[in-house]
Amino acid sequence: MTRVYFLTVSNELRNAVHDLRYLLDRGYPRDSAVTFVANHYRLALGQRHMLARCTFSRREAAEHCRKAVRASAVRGKHLGVDGYNVLITVESILTHKQVVRCDDGYIRDLRAIFGKYKPSKATDRALAEFLGVLKRARPREVAVLFDKQVSRSGELAGVVRRGLKKFSLQGDSRAVGGVDFKLRAFDVVASSDRAVIERANAVWDIPAELVKRKKTNVLDLKNFR
Confidence tier at 1 by pLDDT (50, 70, 90)? very low
Residue 194 lies in a domain: yes
Residue 108 lies in a domain: no
CATH at residue 82 = 3.40.50.1010
List beta partners, residue 110: none
| 49-79 pLDDT tens trace | 999 999 999 999 999 999 999 999 999 999 9
Mean pLDDT of the chain: 93
d(CA 13, CA 143): 38
Q: How many CA atoms lie within 13 A of 86 on its CB side?
A: 30
Residue 152 lies in a domain: yes
| 130-155 pLDDT tens trace | 999 999 999 999 999 999 999 999 99
User: In the chain, what percentage of residues exceed pLDDT 90?
Assistant: 83
Counting the structural domains of the chain, the total is 1
State the average pLDDT over residues 19-46: 97
- Specify the pLDDT at position 114: 64
CA angle 225, 216, 96 (to 5 degrees): 120
**pTM (two decimals):** 0.93
Domain that holds residue 81: 70-95+117-216
State the average pLDDT over residues 85-90: 96
d(CA 56, CA 65): 11
